[in-house]
Structure 1
């Protein structure tokens, strides 16, 4: 993609207009009274007792988040949200694929209002094994500022 250039008459340099980056916000509501942990590849790990909001410039992919004092940085062995917030298509799901297992209720909601919720180990809206992404994922298309809300123990 070509960007128009402008010439700066004083310095003689050619400059390009600023490019706007996507901004993605993750909001966490943690009513569990246990530790929240989230791994954001390329941006590190976030941990909190109560939740909060975090914003990232540019796309973020492969994020995993969970609540529970025994959850590791990969969300094991807990109920976990997995998601990517991308300018093209953002997607999110709840995973109970082993070694993950149900420990707390979780609702995930993308900015467009699409959501999934899980309140038991037999949760029908969570992944229990790999495959069938269309059934278990929620998606949002063409929103450069897509975001997600995670509600634990809702």
Structure 2
């Protein structure tokens, strides 16, 4: 029989193992200009380097700051993402005031490999053009999935 302190320790370990969650957003900028930018709410999380979070990444946006983008990616192609164990969702947006400025794409890795989308032209069929186009979201149920975002590929 386990002592009460041992049971508490084992339970705490089991809960921490189940709750462990991590996600990384990786940028590749092949444009030769601009700054990859990752934002969540009012916080800039990355300006080009890998960003890793221990826990879910909820409602983050990314874009290539080329000098004409607003803080929330206005005037630029926007990548919107939530990375969360059980269901991650990412999409490209050209809903005004967002607009095409450089080719932009994303893909999941460490789970759902190959799932993603690319926007290579102003009339990008993979990008949201209105809020009701939820079928353009790319989902991933894998735990601890990561996201690669590429500009000018």
Q: Give the TM-score normalised by the residue count of structure 1.
A: 0.83
Contact preservation (8 Å) 1:38, 1:73: no
Aligned-residue CA RMSD (Å): 2.1
Structure 1 residue 53: Cα displacement: 1.3
- Alignment of 1:138 onto 2:138: yes
Q: Distance in 2 between matches of 1:79 and 1:6?
A: 58
What corresponds to 2:151 in structure 1? 152
After TM superposition, give the deviation of residue 151 of structure 1 in Å. 0.2
1:39 is matched with which residue? 39
Q: Does 1:58 align with 2:55?
A: yes
Q: Deviations over 1:8-51 (max 9, x none)?
A: 37xxx943433032100101111221122211248x21343xx3
CA distance, structure 1, for counterparts of residue 79 and residue 3 of structure 2:
45
- Partner of 1:8: helix, strand, or coil? helix
Distance 1:148 1:6 in 2: 44
Count of residues paired in the alignment: 142
Q: 5+ residue gaps in structure 1? A: none
Find out whether 1:17 has 2:12 as its counterpart.
yes
CA distance in 2: counterparts of 1:76 and 1:31, whole angstroms: 21
d(CA) in 1 for partners of 2:55 and 2:5?
Answer: 28
Q: TM-score, normalised by structure 2?
A: 0.84
Which residue does 1:91 correspond to in 2? 89
* Structure 1 equivalent of residue 123 of structure 2: 122
Q: Which structure features the higher share of helix residues?
A: 2
